[in-house]
A = this chain, B = another copy of it.
């Protein structure tokens, strides 16, 4: 079957972070397949073979719950975030799935305007074509630093 083009991969990666950074979180779960895996972990955890990570969800329903919880916590007043994605690598591509790795950098902007590097790492993704849409069947956000805020206010 045809390969998934770079254009489509760029489009879904860019749309995903646009959704988060514009605080349109209710649309975030729709980037995933129903039976998705979503995980935030650290490079150290990963190297040590620890599966758990910081955030773990294995269905779209769990992601919807997470958004509800974040909205109730009403944390957004305090800061905003800006994701910058580097160029993606296509590790595997064929049939209706592509495996990609995309470096990320997240800057946190505090209410007083102070900006700092909040997180860096790499998204390890399995993308699946569903009709003309591309969904995350699996997204593992591997953070470089082990000092990640466990009360993380936003999805990565």
Interface residues of A (CB under 8 A from B): 6-7, 10-11, 13-15, 17-18, 21, 43, 80, 82-90, 101, 103-105, 107, 109, 112-117, 119-122, 144-148
Contact = CB atoms under 8 A, between A and B. Distances in A.
Contacts of A105: 82, 84, 105, 107
Assembly stoichiometry (copies): 3
Contacts of A121: 82
A23 B122 CA distance: 14
B116 A117 contact: yes
A3 B103 CA distance: 27
A-B complex: 7 closest residue pairs judged by Cβ atoms: A113-B147, A14-B87, A82-B120, A113-B145, A14-B89, A84-B86, A109-B144
A10 B87 contact: yes
A104 to B, nearest CB: 8
10 contacts: A10-B87, A21-B122, A82-B103, A84-B86, A84-B104, A84-B105, A87-B88, A114-B145, A115-B119, A115-B144
A153 to B, nearest CB: 15
A12 B97 CA distance: 21
A58 to B, nearest CB: 26
A89 B87 CA distance: 13
A114 B144 CA distance: 10
Contacts of A144: 80, 82, 107, 109, 115
Nearest to A84: B86
